[in-house]
Structure 1
Amino acid sequence: MEMTELNDGNIKSIGYDEMTRELHVRFENGDYLIYYEVFKIDYVGIFTSDNMSKYFEERIQTRYPFKTINNA
């Protein structure tokens, strides 16, 4: 899976796996989280939003289960 650099707010990069519907997010502080069952429209919405961090906080962080892979 390819990660896309965002450098927007506290998000460093994200990647999306369409087969598993997993959204991988690396934060500036080094945290790496995987969000599960993420709809593709929400992933695409990050890039079309005027404020990527706000979109992520409102549409992804609060709606999808996640697992922390590692911490800084």
Structure 2
Amino acid sequence: MEKVEVNQGDLQYMEYDELSRELHVHFKNGDYVIYYEVFKLDYVGLLSSNDYNGFFKERIEPRFPSKTIH
């Protein structure tokens, strides 16, 4: 998985696994959440956005199942 630093809003960095379609998101507050069934198109859209935090909150967070890792 490729690690991408974003440091915007609540987001610190993320990793995407294309084979399993998992988006691993690390938040500035220490939370770590895995989003499942994320299409590559959505991930590419996120990285192409000028507002990572806004795109994430609108297009990723509410649309895909997730699990918080403690």
**Fold match, TM over 0.5?**
yes
AA matched with 1:58: E
| Alignment match, 2:11 | 11
Q: How many residues align?
A: 70
In the TM superposition, what whole-angstrom CA distance separates every residue of 1:35-59 from its partner, at most 9, and x where no partner exists?
Answer: 0000101101111112110000000
Aligned partner letter, 2:4: T
Any unmatched runs of 5+ in structure 1?
A: none
Q: Does 1:34 align with 2:13?
A: no
Rounded to whole Å, the distance in 2 between the matches of 1:69 and 1:22 is: 13
Q: What fraction of aligned residue pairs are identical, expressed as a percent? A: 56
The alignment yields a C-alpha RMSD, in angstroms, of: 0.7
Q: TM-score scaled to structure 1, two decimals?
A: 0.93
What are the ranges of 5 or more consecutive residues in structure 2 without an aligned counterpart? none
Letter in 1 for 2:51: N
Runs of 4+ in 1 over 3 A off after TM superposition: none
TM-score by length of 2: 0.96
